[in-house]
Structure 1
Amino acid sequence: MRLPPSPFPNNIISTFFPFLLFLLQSITVHSSSPVQYDPQHAIAVNCGFLHNSTAVDGRQWVGETDSASILSFHGPGSKPVIPLSVDRSYSLDPTPYMTARASRSTFTYTFHIGSGFKFIRLHFNPVSYSGFQRSTAFFTVKSGPYTLLNNFNAFLAIDSLGLKSIVKEFTLYVPDDDDGPLSITFSPSRTIPSDETFAFVNGIEVVPMPLGLYYTMEGDAGAYVVGQTCGFHIGKDIAMELAYRLNVGDMKLSSVHDTNMFREWTDDLNHIIGSSVFPVTSANRIKYTKTSKDGAPHRVYQSSWSMNRNLQVGEEVSFTWKLPVDLGFRYLIRLHFCELDYEVKSGQKEFSILINNQMVEHKGDLIRWGVGIGVAIYKDYLVTVRGDRMMGKTDLLVALYPNNYDQSTEFVDAVIKGIEIFKLRNPDDNLAGRNPVISHPHASTKHRLRMRTSINDIATLIIVFVILINVIVHQFCELKERSWSVNISPSLIDEALCRRFSFAEISFATNNFDKKLEIGRGGFGKVYKGVNNGIEKTVAIKRLGSESVQGEKEFISEIKTLSKLRHKNLVSLVGYCNFGVEMIIVYDYMEHGTFADHLHKNKRNGGNNGDVTPLTWAERLDICLGAARGLDYLHTNSEQDVIHRDVKSENILLDLHWVAKVADFGICKVGTTSHTSTHFSTDVKGTIGYLDPEYFSTRRLTKKSDVYAFGVVLWEALCGRPVVDTRMEGEQRSLVLWVKRCFKEGMVDQLIVILV
């Protein structure tokens, strides 16, 4: 409604308009009939207001006087207040945001309601009120044994989130009145050295919660604990605070869409990572089971994100949400699902879900879970975010990877429809994280006002600078990613022989890189034993280590080389994974380990190891012949001439049938001719003890360098000792020097007799 021109100056309008609004609201609602309250129904209190009122959305709020039968109040120092100005709050609903209860001393609301699990919602409109400046509103809120908020400042909270008001939602169990009614106490913070600090609240909701909605029913397994195989029982003694309630792929849903529990669902646009997604909606009817009927409104299940999987060549299809949470707490993560494609059959839309890079679902399948098409379902997970709760926030990551989407389909849809995250109380019954506190919060208001302009200017410059840096870094990363994709694009590899794995598959195959599955390590990084569920066989998974001097160049070299070469005596490349900083190569698993294991590693580890079998002379000869055939194929094949550059007994692997396989092509060189005189001028790379002296001195790499290194391997097979043995003294430390001396002095037979 447009106001008529006023004869009063604007500052008078700003001063008297809140009072006129307050008076009009009082007259309007006082004539309405009292709200009849059922103890098992929701109650919403318009704090600081005496009588019942109706909000813009049609919901009724009780006043502090008209609700005397169910609500009592204690706090002689408190008083009802209205905003000094409506400039900031004009777009907010007058109920409950145009009145508040404020005090510089403690005050308490007590609710005489039925027992059970309840939502507690506290509404705050942090503006300056008559007699109270918003910058000094630091206070603590407690209910029973639980600390809900500590040293909380609503103005700082909304300023950091870009909001006009804020609602803090909690869940807890309310016992019978005989065991003590529900009380909510507001206390000005005494940690701030100021007599001006005060507490306030605009509105309080107490809403009954259906049994088993978020709390574990007797006999249920509870929430799946991330990283473990057990469930977590969420019982009556656990209070929780809502961190996020997201409507995936759609706009915000106000509380009127959730008619029983008045939950608000916000959009997830600021939390989904990546710009290649777009929203999709459906008008299909949603069916609810007994467990999901109160899970979420139907509109939550009718929207999600979709992705163009052909947007970039080699781009991994995934949906990831980044959600900042307080350190030092456990979190209940509820994911809402619903399959709305009536053409989908079991096994066609499997997916993996990771929480903080730990696998929680490997082969998720809504059809296999038995819920059917159009049926709402949710799954609960519990994760611990370690750290000091007073050190601020960290990012909690929820990621979904479609496993086997139809290759003929251009777009891939997420099956996650909604995300809810609750913070669980600590053992000391504390739910309060660190408040976003400005420097010197006890400084005078005038001083802060004088500093505000300069601080904002500096902050603006910093933000602009950070944005520019982010743009530059983003462009650099995109350029690097594009370059990466070209190097390992399908045109450079044989996709029939080399599969690209998702990081979710690799994580599952290695049980999140369990140390118990580690089977070796080398210059590239650690090697794990894993199971390739796509083809149901055991594989070896080599992961680049953070401390490794190798990296992208070696990673790409090995994939390009092995993806085009196949020979009985070369290790077979199964596939690879490159996701962010992760560089992983997957090979066939070699059951009998390395040649070195059986020649001398068992001796160095203190005698006979049951897992390492000593080799007979015939077995040694067969292994050496097999390795020689593999090297000959590398040097003479029609596809590409390859100089291995790191031939050694540790890079000769043995399969189940003791067949030798040459492995590790990270530093190999690829040539275009078979002439042995051709050389590469290159930096010296390889392993001490196997390096060709001519290559080492001239930096001219030829196929003869591999032949020299293989000759050293033959001496290892003959002598059964490592090329460098630090237990020996003098030249005996080097196998090559020791062999040369034995030849020179005519002691070859003695050398073999002594060392075998």
Structure 2
Amino acid sequence: MQINGSSIASNLMDALNNSVDDPVHHGTARLSRSQFSYSFRVSRGQKILRLHFYPASYEGFEGFHDLFVVESGHFILLSNFSASINSIALGVRSIVKEYYLNIGENEQLNLVFTSLSSSMYAFVNGIEIISMPPRVSYFDGDPGVVRVVGKSRVYVDSSTALEMVYRRNTLQRPVLLDGDIRDLFGMWGGEGSKAKRQSYTWRISVDVGFSYLVRLYFSPAFEVSESGDFVFEVSINNRVVDSYTDRWNEKNGMVLYRDYVVVIKGREHQGKRDLLICVSADGKVVDGQELLKEFEILKMSNFDNSLASPNPLSYPAIEDSIQVLGARTVIPSDSIALLALGCFVFYVTRRIRVSSDTIKVGIMPSARAQGLCRRFTLAEIRQATKGFSGENLIGKAGFGKVYKGLIDKERKAVAVKQLKPNARQGSREFLNEIEVLTRLRHDNLVSLVGYCNDNGEMIIVYELLGCGSVAKHLYKRSSNNADSFASSRASLTWKRRLDICIGAGRGLDYLHKHSLIHRDVNASNILLDGNFKAKVSDLGLVKHLSRSKLQSRVKTKVKGTHQYTDPSYATTGVLTQKSDVYSFGVFLLEVLSGRAAVDPSLGDNECNLVPWFRENISEGHLDRLVASDLLHEIPDDSLKIFLGIAERCLDGEPVRRPAMAQVVQQLEWQQETPGCPVPYWLQLEFWQQETSDDETGSTFV
């Protein structure tokens, strides 16, 4: 463990008050009126992170003046947080926050605590880090795919952080409240084993503006007596999200848990909404055995990579929070002053959130971006690339050149992109890419290592991806390396090409869900790591849509690679996320045919890929669109479905193109069930019907 920054360890002023039932000792805390951080070397995998706060007076730090931010990597765990306000609101002596993070290979777990002003302070009493068994991991799967409910899949991977907001063991008898055993959550309906239908409902208050992962753990001992006829149903917010009919018994067993995701929509000022979970079953149940053993509700990081909730601001909100915890508490009269402080916290929150949406254009990246990546000196870059030597050159284009480099005593290989001073990617694009890549992280986005802007240089350092660009494998043949090109092309089987399309689609879908448009999707900007996993790169031209204005399009100067550009965008200057979908459709054709979007070496009728594609589709010559090395590898039905997906992406009317999330789902369906028709719930018509959901309610994904 390493501690950085300016902070001190201080003792509790009144040790007699430290009588909290908590495994972490609260007699001391680390505090600072500026910023301090921890760095932990941990193994790869999912980690449980617990932060313990005991708000009180410490030596040199007066109580109830805490207001701070806690970050881990690019995630904001707490923002404008006051443990004091929360402890009074909840009627507790200490606060424990539990998070789940997925740590990659050779990564450290970093925690940064930042006070919001010199008159306030940041503090922590204890930090727990626990490795979680893979069998119960929230990041398990392919890659962490949460159960499909409704209209899209949700991927829980290293780009997502989780916070445990509620956990309940349902087999325990409900807590008595004022002599009423019903509690907030009720009990199993009916008369035990004699009832034909049993149902159980919970009502939990949660923050708006977040997605929540609901995990239900079923009792492995549950069995159905006699005939065994059984109907199982789960409803969330009065909507049936899962049902199952079968003969479940001890022999065939039951799944250990099921995962569901629900989005709780609403404006920030609305604070909280109720999340209702109902589990019901038809069947004759053996005495003493419950259907549900336990359930958990975990908040998922939002588009800003944040899990932060506002401090309680009003008495009703406080009362609701206390009821959810299953206890009533009288609020002390001196909390009024703290609630006034809460109004100040709300103002600071609003001000910070407004400013964080703006990409700073200047000589330096924003302070937050600087804190999340490394700034290299020009001397370090020259040493890493051997003075930008030709033998280290691995790529070049209109923006500049890319070199292979070795950093950290030649132990780590990186890709160094040196932009031309007069390149189309100028200083604005240079800073834009740094800001985007420090704010977002996904398995299918290239990872940023750092940057250099010494002496007017614009240099970005990325992770090195061993297999280069998709274009290199498809059609960028080197005259002195023909054998290597042939070998590379042969390694791109149909299954691998489909995997590449899905990976690239997931990366673009991730950008779209964060209200971003790539603007330069092409085969040269889709890179492959050593395992041929696709990663979207070159994010300098990314355009931001304003979520506060519910913006879905923006009028802007046309940029990007000409042969991939959406014709509607090129003629009107109106940019939407469907412009990326069009470019992705061109990419799909390249992957299938092994041809570039424009190939001047071919005749006039064949040099432009999209018109040539449409001509062959209309004439029924589908085999002409397939690369020669794939002709006998793709089943006819699979080919028709793939071409159908590409054709929808290339529709002349942007509104008729599918969303990127739908394209990914259709490709995944094709991968999992080759040749099977795409089901109705994955088709565009279904999605158009689903988009009419109430914007202020809850939607299911």
State TM-score, norm by structure 2.
0.37
State TM-score, norm by structure 1.
0.34
